[in-house]
Amino acid sequence: MTVDGSAHVAEVEPRLLLLHHLRENLGIGGVHSGCNTTNCGACTILLDGESVKSCTVLAVQADGHEITTVQGITENGLWHPMQQAFHEAHGLQCGYCTPGMILASISLLKEKPDASEEEIREGLEGNLCRCTGYENIVKAVQMAQAHANRQPAPAS
Ligand code: FES
Ligand code: FES
């Protein structure tokens, strides 16, 4: 599989979850483990550009596919516009849900660039923020919509 632009070859047990392969075998700590039961969205990644919960996918099912984690969305040292919007709108508190929220939001706007507030809320309903920071998360997604063509700032 390709993970954040790099090819990875591995032999894994058929029962290994993609979540655990990414975290434990490849050391990608930005893929968070929350519930392991498809409820919280902390483990969200992009699989061939679409958001999926990596605790619902076996590592072997990702064979030959392209995975993007939050650690692979900056380009040439620049924040992804969604990261910038989360930063500016303070779309995070403890940050545990943030990687999954950002990836789910990227996937949502790719599918529905002009999503309404209601559609944003519906689109993110599979991602839980235990700090209940939803208001600013929705504002961040709306900011990313508004600034879709803005030049991103340097990542730090
Ligand atoms: S860890 Fe995958 S949805 Fe919670
Ligand atoms: S910012 Fe704390 S869980 Fe979302």
- Rounded CA gap, 85 and 106, in Å? 11
Whether 137 lines ligand 1, by a CB cut-off of 6 Å, is no
Q: Which residues are near ligand 2 (CB < 6 Å)?
A: 92-98, 129-131, 133
Direct distance between the N- and C-terminal alpha carbons of the chain, in angstroms, rounded to an integer: 28
Write the single-letter amino acid at 22.
L
- Measure 74 CA to ligand 1 centroid, in angstroms: 23
Tokens 């559609």 found at: 119
β-pair partners for 47:
50, 67
Question: pLDDT 10s digit of each residue in the chain, 156 long?
Answer: 999 999 999 999 999 999 999 999 999 999 999 999 999 999 999 999 999 999 999 999 999 999 999 999 998 889 999 999 999 999 999 999 999 999 999 999 999 999 999 999 999 999 999 999 999 999 999 999 998 855 666 776
| Strand ranges (E), the chain | 2-3, 6-7, 44-47, 50-53, 66-68
